[in-house]
Structure 1
Amino acid sequence: MLSLRPLYLATAALLLAAPALASEPKRPECIAPAAPGGGFDLTCKLAQSALVNEKLLSKPMRVTYMPGGVGAVAYNAVVAQRPADAGTLVAWSSGSLLNLAQGKFGRFDEGAVRWLAAVGTSYGAIAVKSDSPYQTLDDLVQALRQDPSKVVIGSGGTVGSQDWMQTALIAKAAGIPPRELRYVALEGGGEIVTALLGGHIQVGSTDISDSMPHLESGGMRLLAVFSEQRLDKPGMAQIPTAREQGYDIVWPVVRGFYVGPKVTDAEYAWWKTAFDKMLASDDFKTLREQRELFPFAMTGPQLDTYVKQQVADYKLLAREFGLIP
């Protein structure tokens, strides 16, 4: 008679050898590392909606806000205080990577967290109020050439931030020393819009996804978008690129999520699998488009490689502008 004991033993051995499968986090949370209303908030709420719609989370992920240093406070809090909290995602953008390249996140570098997913991209843009005297990007450049101190530019973060870099590239192309530009440091896209519409600044260096609701309401205009070509979406096709106006500047703003450095491989794999499924769904693509984001999907080790290459490239750019030695 054939004994099934060897089969049972072999099956048991395989189960013991297999890695433990993580379950859904009990209290999922997405930290938007800025005030409500900007790009980080948008990124968290996109995932919040999509993960539940796809039944990848059984209950909505809450969104909390941790402004400070355009991501630095949240980065340090997760690495130092919540490194193993598998339920906590933190939103990041290309601006976060630029700040990391300049050492603005303190003692932690780009290797301090686990890069999880990139879910879309926007593009940098230059915004003015709807009644601004500046009708084109060149109008703004001419005003800056005359007297840069008379044009107050609001940007997310201080000198060296992503928003600062966008206008620094314009200044460089126009032959104006970037350090002569007059900046007001604000905390993310929501504050930029508030300051611009309130008349506290004349120009906002922002991105197109933050701007669209206010363009549609008629409160502001975009002088330029930093994309390779005009964006083929409703409400965007009429916005000229910087490139077509004679300023060869392209600045994509990738958006995504990371988790703490001590999140286990199994917990990280659970999130990666969830995001891979979400990114492949048609419903997610619709939600992404509703938030004025363009396709950019990357997870896991591929994203880790991308992030570290981007940080290396940003270091070269920062050195060019004298921001780091």
Structure 2
Amino acid sequence: MLKKMLTIGLSCYALNVVALDNVKIMIGANPGGGYDQTARGIGAALQAAGQAKAVQYENRGGAGGTIGLAQFVNTSKGDPNALVVVGAVMVGAIETNKSPVNLKDVTPVARLLAEYDVLVVPANSKIQTLKDLIAAVKANPGAVSWGGGSKGSIDHILAGLILKASDVDPTKLNYVPFAGGGEAAAAILGGHVTIGISGLAEFLPYIKSGKMRALGVSADKRVPEVDIPTLREQGTPVSIANWRGVYGAPGISADQQAALIKAVTAATQTKQWQDTLDKNEWQAALLTGDELAKFADTEQQRIGAILRVLGLVK
């Protein structure tokens, strides 16, 4: 009887054990941006799910996240409580910065979310549809200016993919990079660029107010609660997401990787995480372990290829 009681007690204790101790999340960006919001959102969700006792964050911005990734690889080997935020921007930065470290040097845990781009024009633009835009680009690529994020960003990559899919030489892309969404929005509304590209959340207030017209989103299917057609359904076979997720440290065991995957998956099922997604107009896009590794490899090849076409990688 005593043995049975001890067994039951230990089983109950096991159910209440926090999966992770003091979680440390490396953020390869400065405070306030998408990587930072993702890190702090999933960190809070880990605690809300009872999967982490405490969470510490370290911001190490620069070079599209690759500086933070390099530091993580060099200092966190074998640490089962360490995570680094990764994503599509980092995939591109690994190529453009010729980073000595890449996602193969860390342990895949979970892709968490997808943030889709939207193409917009000012409300008074002569361009009414995506078809109009493609026609204008085919007629004179240089006359169509595309305003978006920094060179090599997902916005830039998307513009290049659209030209390529439309049988227009991507090297003729007239891309105007901006430091932030506010600067880009001002340029679009002022008619200083023909078309704008950014994350849906960035331009959604202008779309809802009628100041901008949305031509399409870069998702595979329409984003829930936002009635904007995808590029694909309008005949342009292009989709891309500014996805973000977390990887574990190099050198951890398969059991430690599994524990991280289990903990992060539980965190994504909390109201805390759903509120983070809703607040930022992000879409849930959970993908874990080996499947994430395969996805990241495919992304590296696709993004690297278009960056080379655009002349951003040699």
Residues 109 and 175 of structure 1, relative CA distance in 2, 3 Å threshold:
same
Give the partner amino acid of 1:284. W
Q: Contact 2:73 / 2:105 at 8 angstroms: preserved in 1?
A: yes
1:196 aligns with 2:184: yes
Q: Distance in 1 between matches of 2:205 and 2:82?
A: 28
Residues 33 and 266 of structure 1, relative CA distance in 2, 3 Å threshold:
farther
Q: Distance in 2 between matches of 1:218 and 1:42?
A: 28
Q: 1:291 aligns with which of 276, 280, 286?
A: 280
Q: Structure 1 residue 50: deviation in Å? A: 1.8
Q: Distance in 1 between matches of 2:79 and 2:193?
A: 40
Q: Distance in 1 between matches of 2:207 and 2:52?
A: 33
Partner secondary structure for residue 92 of structure 1: strand
Q: Structure 1 residue 309: deviation in Å? A: 4.0
Q: What's the CA shift string for 1:209-241, capped at 9, x where partnerless?
A: 55445545666443211223322x22x12x122
Partner of 2:11: none
Q: Distance in 1 between matches of 2:106 and 2:150?
A: 22
1:125 aligns with 2:118: yes
Partner secondary structure for residue 241 of structure 1: coil
1:49 aligns with 2:44: yes
Q: Distance in 1 between matches of 2:124 and 2:67?
A: 36
Partner secondary structure for residue 196 of structure 2: strand
Partner of 1:25: 22
Residues 244 and 272 of structure 1, relative CA distance in 2, 3 Å threshold:
closer
1:241 aligns with 2:230: yes
Partner of 1:135: 128
Q: Percent of counterpart pairs with the same letter?
A: 23
Q: Structure 1 residue 91: deviation in Å? A: 2.2
Q: Which moved more, 1:117-126 or 1:150-159?
A: 150-159
Q: Contact 1:70 / 1:157 at 8 angstroms: preserved in 2?
A: no
Q: What's the CA shift string for 1:138-170, capped at 9, x where partnerless?
A: 3333443454334432344425x4322211122
Q: Structure 1 residue 29: deviation in Å? A: 3.5
Residues 48 and 152 of structure 1, relative CA distance in 2, 3 Å threshold:
farther
Q: Contact 2:28 / 2:69 at 8 angstroms: preserved in 1?
A: no
TM-score by length of 1: 0.72
Q: Distance in 1 between matches of 2:166 and 2:89?
A: 23
Q: Distance in 1 between matches of 2:168 and 2:241?
A: 23
Q: What's the CA shift string for 1:185-224, capped at 9, x where partnerless?
A: 456xxx1x12222226543333335544554566644321
Q: Contact 1:197 / 1:220 at 8 angstroms: preserved in 2?
A: no
What's the RMSD between the two structures over aligned residues? 3.7
Q: 1:274 aligns with which of 249, 260, 263?
A: 263
1:228 aligns with 2:220: yes
Partner secondary structure for residue 24 of structure 1: strand
Partner of 2:13: none
Q: Contact 1:30 / 1:63 at 8 angstroms: preserved in 2?
A: yes
Q: Contact 2:25 / 2:39 at 8 angstroms: preserved in 1?
A: no
Partner of 1:148: 141
Q: Structure 1 residue 31: deviation in Å? A: 0.9
Give the partner amino acid of 2:261. K
TM-score by length of 2: 0.74
Give the partner amino acid of 1:300. G
Q: Distance in 1 between matches of 2:244 and 2:212?
A: 24
Partner of 1:184: 176
1:77 aligns with 2:67: no
Structure 2, unpaired ranges of 5+: 4-17
Q: What's the CA shift string for 1:83-120, capped at 9, x where partnerless?
A: 566655332223433444x4644222331222221112
Give the partner amino acid of 1:25. N
Residues 156 and 74 of structure 1, relative CA distance in 2, 3 Å threshold:
farther
Q: Distance in 2 between matches of 1:221 and 1:63?
A: 39
Q: Distance in 1 between matches of 2:139 and 2:302?
A: 33
Partner secondary structure for residue 165 of structure 1: helix
Partner of 1:300: 289
Q: Which moved more, 1:241-250 or 1:315-324?
A: 315-324
Partner of 2:248: 259
Q: Contact 2:30 / 2:60 at 8 angstroms: preserved in 1?
A: yes
Q: Structure 1 residue 63: deviation in Å? A: 6.7
Q: Which moved more, 1:142-151 or 1:105-114?
A: 142-151
Give the partner amino acid of 1:70. G
Q: Distance in 2 between matches of 1:69 and 1:61?
A: 22
Partner of 1:92: 86
Q: Distance in 1 between matches of 2:169 and 2:44?
A: 44
Residues 290 and 148 of structure 1, relative CA distance in 2, 3 Å threshold:
same
Give the partner amino acid of 2:21. E
